[in-house]
Amino acid sequence: MNFKYQSIDAQGRTLEGDVEAESRKQALGKLKQQGLRVTSLSEAAGKPGAKRPKGKISREELLLALSELATLLRSGVSLKDAIDSLTGGERAAAMQSVFDRWSSGLRQGESFSDALRASGVPVPEYLFQLVKAGELTGEMGDSLQTAVSQMEYEKQIATEMKNALVYPAILCFSGVGAVLLVFTFVVPQFQNLLEHGDKLPWLAWAVLATGKWVNANMAWVIGAALAAIIVMARVFSLPAVRSRFMDGLQSVPVVGDWIVEAETARWASILAALVNHRVAILDALELARNTVRLPSRQSRLSRVSGQVKSGVPLSSALKENSVITNTGYNLLRAGEKSGEVARLLKSLAELHDTSGRNRMKRFLALIEPIAILLIGGVIGVIIMGVILAITSANDIAF
């Protein structure tokens, strides 16, 4: 069998690759003989069990199932019994197939993190990392509950954003529709004035010429717009493209600060959970780094791991690589002195979470007036061009 792995070598560098082995245990043995500390090991895609579940699983249904599983595990029920007890009932066929895949994987000796990944459920990467941490410490229920809480929080934020963007989206579509209506029914009434374009104000000429071109190529305009939307949707469906795009937004006022705050809050929350579950700090840093979506911050966190491995305090390494602010540095330094790193990391996460939500609300509050100004400006320019054309008609000798 072929296994994919992520590991840290003796120099603190992160390595990824494949290893051939007859079992998971043998694969771990081969990698340890190479002096690698394994942080992730899963069977490579391609076997039948690694297929995505048939049908679509709703986020709400998945969150409910994971929450129920976490509750059972925290109550002392074994993992196998907990999954068996959740199997059946009035669940959708897709969710039922996921439970069957988990149960089958456990019977075959797979770890739950591997069975979870192989089932193809649409969950964020940090859930796999926290489940893996729970397997290392024996606190699967608490780790899973931490991941579920984070997923519920992100779902709430996404819902708030969607609700806030509904009105600006309606404004934009209405504005585009109004512009097309003006170009289709109003501007053509004055196109004969283009024959005397040298006597028209430049704005009037530009509006009339644009309207004439749009009317003559309406099918191409609509087709190009639809094609652009489809291409952009497909491009932004790629995780790597989304990560690079978000990385580039870091320099944009308000938006960039919000993205950084949100990423820092997620990273600190996951790291706090890992440290609280007594995962070794180097392993915890690597697992938490894998949950970060911004390539530039991943690079910084990789340097942090190397410095911590060489003996630099975590707070100093994070500050030196501009991962946290001075406030975060003081919090972590106090945690290192008191032995309460996990608790103060959680406080750091809450601090950035509150700040990030405030920035998000500020950003969403700006979208509506910006959309009104843009749409109103475009329509105003068109109407002004038409009015100039009308007022110039008397100066044109036919």
* Three-state secondary structure of 96-136: HHHHHHHHHHHHCCCCHHHHHHHCCCCCCHHHHHHHHHHHH
Residue 25 within any structural domain of the chain = yes
Do 77 and 9 share a structural domain?
no
State mean pLDDT over 303-330: 89
Residue 365 within any structural domain of the chain = yes
State the Cα–Cα distance between residues 229 and 328, nearest whole angstrom: 41
For the entire predicted model, the pTM comes to 0.65
21-25, 28-32, 212-216, 360-364: least confidently modelled range: 21-25
Residue 49 within any structural domain of the chain = no
Residue 252's domain is classified under what CATH number?
1.20.81.30
Do 102 and 197 share a structural domain?
no
Do 304 and 371 share a structural domain?
yes
Would you state the structure tokens that stand for residue 44, as one six-digit string? 């490579």
State mean pLDDT over 147-169: 80
Confidence of residue 227 (pLDDT cuts 50, 70, 90): very high
Element (H, E) at 353: helix 341-392
Q: What does the pLDDT read at residue 394?
A: 62
Do 97 and 200 share a structural domain?
no
- Is the pLDDT at 146 greater than 80? The verdict is yes
- Number of domains present in the structure of the chain: 3
Do 139 and 92 share a structural domain?
no
81-85, 187-191, 195-199, 362-366: least confidently modelled range: 195-199
* Residue span of the structural domain in which 72 resides: 58-123
Angle at 64 between CA 350 and CA 97, to 5 degrees: 130
State mean pLDDT over 133-145: 83
Residue 52 within any structural domain of the chain = no
State mean pLDDT over 111-115: 85
Do 219 and 346 share a structural domain?
yes
Decide if 305 contacts 286 (C-beta within 8 A).
Answer: yes
State the average pLDDT for the chain: 80
Q: What does the pLDDT read at residue 230?
A: 92
Do 129 and 112 share a structural domain?
no
State the Cα–Cα distance between residues 7 and 307, nearest whole angstrom: 17
Task: Please state, for a pLDDT cut of 70, what percent of the chain lies above it.
Answer: 88
The length of the chain, given as a count of residues:
398
> DSSP characters for 228-257?
HHHHHHHHHTSHHHHHHHHHHGGGSTTHHH
CA 372 to each of CA 172, 203, 285, 313, 385: distance values in angstroms, whole numbers, following the listed order:
8, 22, 45, 50, 20
Do 220 and 84 share a structural domain?
no
State mean pLDDT over 164-190: 80
Per-residue pLDDT tens over the stretch 256-279: 888 888 888 888 888 888 888 777
Do 321 and 194 share a structural domain?
yes
Residue 50 within any structural domain of the chain = no
Domain boundary among 74, 92, 123: 123
State mean pLDDT over 57-75: 87
- Is the pLDDT at 252 greater than 60? The verdict is yes
Q: Strands of 37-43's sheet, edge to edge?
A: 14-20, 2-8, 37-43
Do 212 and 119 share a structural domain?
no
- Is the pLDDT at 50 greater than 50? The verdict is no
Per-residue pLDDT tens over the stretch 338-397: 888 888 888 888 888 888 888 878 877 788 788 888 888 888 888 888 888 777 766 655
Do 299 and 196 share a structural domain?
yes
Surface-to-core class of residue 186, CB atoms within 10 Å of its CB (0-12 exposed, 13-18 middle, 19+ buried): middle
Q: Which of 56-65, 183-192, 230-239, 315-324 has the highest mean pLDDT?
A: 315-324
Per-residue pLDDT tens over the stretch 325-340: 888 888 888 988 888 8
State the Cα–Cα distance between residues 123 and 150, nearest whole angstrom: 11
More confident position, 35 or 69: 69
Residue located via tokens 């995780």: 239
- Is the pLDDT at 42 greater than 80? The verdict is no
More confident position, 151 or 91: 151
Residue 323 within any structural domain of the chain = yes
Residue 145 within any structural domain of the chain = yes
Confidence of residue 133 (pLDDT cuts 50, 70, 90): confident
Task: Please state, for a pLDDT cut of 90, what percent of the chain lies above it.
Answer: 2
Residue 301 within any structural domain of the chain = yes
State mean pLDDT over 161-188: 80
- Is the pLDDT at 55 greater than 70? The verdict is no
> DSSP characters for 34-72?
TT-EEEEEEEPBTBGGGSPPSSPPPHHHHHHHHHHHHHH
45: phi then psi, degrees, rounded to nearest 5:
-60, 150
- Is the pLDDT at 324 greater than 60? The verdict is yes
Which of 37, 29, 288, 316 is closest to 147 using CA atoms? 288
Do 162 and 309 share a structural domain?
yes
Confidence of residue 137 (pLDDT cuts 50, 70, 90): confident
Q: What does the pLDDT read at residue 46?
A: 42
State mean pLDDT over 291-317: 88
